[in-house]
Chains A and B, each alone.
Chain A
Amino acid sequence: MDWTWFHRFGSPPHLYRIAGRLMPWFAWPTAILIALGLYGGLVLAPPDYQQGDGFRIIYVHAPSAWLSLMAYTTMALAAGAGLIWRMKVAHALAASCAPIGAWFTVAALGTGMLWGKPMWGTYWVWDPRLTSELVLLFLYLGYMGLRAAIEDPQRADRASAVLAIVGLVNVPIVHYSVEWWNSIHQAPSVMKFGKPTISWPMLTPLLIMFVGFTLLFAALVLVRVRGEILRRERQSRWVAEVVAS
């Protein structure tokens, strides 16, 4: 089998061009899907019988929370690929995922807190999902902190890759420990929602938002990885040509 197409991804100028060409193909569907999803979620979907209009924040909250995890997984997988095959661009990809994933985590936490104020009467409760999102944010910050602290870029790539993989093993453990911890400590006075039987007019916009946010993540990563490649390759001639043209 011919693997040249795969190996060409390892070449920074090639990936730079590909990422630039692919970006609009992600950006436009993102804009359309998020617009559709928001219209469906904020206007068309009926209010919840219990939470009224307050539930509508789920259309931003749930996709952000999903992407906070997906970005971490992508980052760790890219970091692993960089470690195993010594691909420079894989490390660049991992480095671009981190801040985006961290911001999605912040968005999930922020919207969760805004939802909590009317529902729980307070911005913060030690709800298991909020707590594990917070720990995830610390993991992102640790990753970026380690990257920033090591001066040699190659060492920074490889050390942070090890950390990302250790974190990937740890994320599910943290999640389930926190859930277990919460089941012991949480007083039953907090509203307990069962598995919601969500109706189709509510669910469809949510699914659209999930796809839209995932494409948004892909588009943001493509933009960021281009910047990252340019920064890393700034000494090389092809970057000078790109900048000059």
Chain B
Amino acid sequence: MTGAWSAARLVVERDLRLAFRNRAQLLHPLLFFAIVTTLFPLALSPEASRLRDVAPGVLWVAALLSSLLAIEFLFRDDAQDGTLEQYALSGQSLTWLLFAKTVSHWLLAGLPLALMSPVAAYGLGVPTSAVPGIVASVALGTVALSLLGAVTAGLTIGIRRGGALLSLLTLPLAVPLLIFGAQATARAIAGSGIAGPMYFLAAFTVLGITLAPLAAAAAVRISLE
């Protein structure tokens, strides 16, 4: 039997390979993020000073919504073609395999979002000195979001037109991430230390790593019954 590490590596490799064979699905959440952050200057005003004030909120709400789009695809294809059932029957810990799946999901959705956020931030009049803080906070926040999304996506497997329901389930639970993520971004823009909110984000991430894969495995098992 395959060891736990190589099983996880195989899951991640498979997910990455599938994603790169179907690049459009990777790009859609990122495009959505770019478009939403473009809409705000059009709706509010092109003035840099006003945009800078709302930039943390705009960036984080856009990041949250585009992550939600990505979360919808987290289990969908694997549930349809029976891969998830194979995972559940493989004799490996389903918790562990889903954790690996969450890691690959973050690599494909969260990390690109974090790397793209400085571009969107620059468009909103954010000084370049804030870039490291913004990238770090989005990168950390999306880890916790992927973990949370694994639970809610697991619960909504097989529900037809589950997209709206998925948002209803995920967004209230993501409120703390939004608060501390936006706070970290606001502090990075203001040039003050971001350590405080980042510690909170890190704490949520650790809590998520500990509990979310267990809940996700329970959810997936129930959905597969």
Contacts and interface: CB of A to CB of B under 8 A. Distances in A.
Contact of B155 (A139, A163, A174): A163
Report the interface size class on chain B: 20 to 34
A14 to B, nearest CB: 27
B23 to A, nearest CB: 31
A131 to B, nearest CB: 9
Contact of B159 (A150, A174, A178): A150
A155 interface: yes
Interface in B134-186: 151-152, 155-156, 159, 162, 165, 168-169, 171-173, 175-176, 179-180, 183
Interface in A135-187: 135, 138-139, 141-142, 145-146, 149-150, 154-155, 158-159, 162-163, 165-167, 169-170, 173-174, 177-178, 180-181, 184
Contacts of B219: 159, 162
Contact of A173 (B168, B176, B215, B222): B176
B179 A181 contact: yes
Contact of A155 (B151, B211, B223): B223
Contacts of B155: 146, 159, 162-163
A145 B180 contact: no
B169 A162 contact: no
B204 interface: yes
Nearest to A160: B155
B225 interface: yes
Of A83, A146, A184, chain B has the most CB atoms within 10 Å of the CB of A146
A98 to B, nearest CB: 14
Q: Which 9 A-B pairs have the closest CB atoms?
A: A177-B176, A138-B172, A158-B222, A181-B179, A142-B169, A142-B168, A177-B179, A149-B159, A159-B155
7 contacts: A83-B218, A149-B162, A158-B222, A162-B151, A162-B222, A177-B175, A177-B176
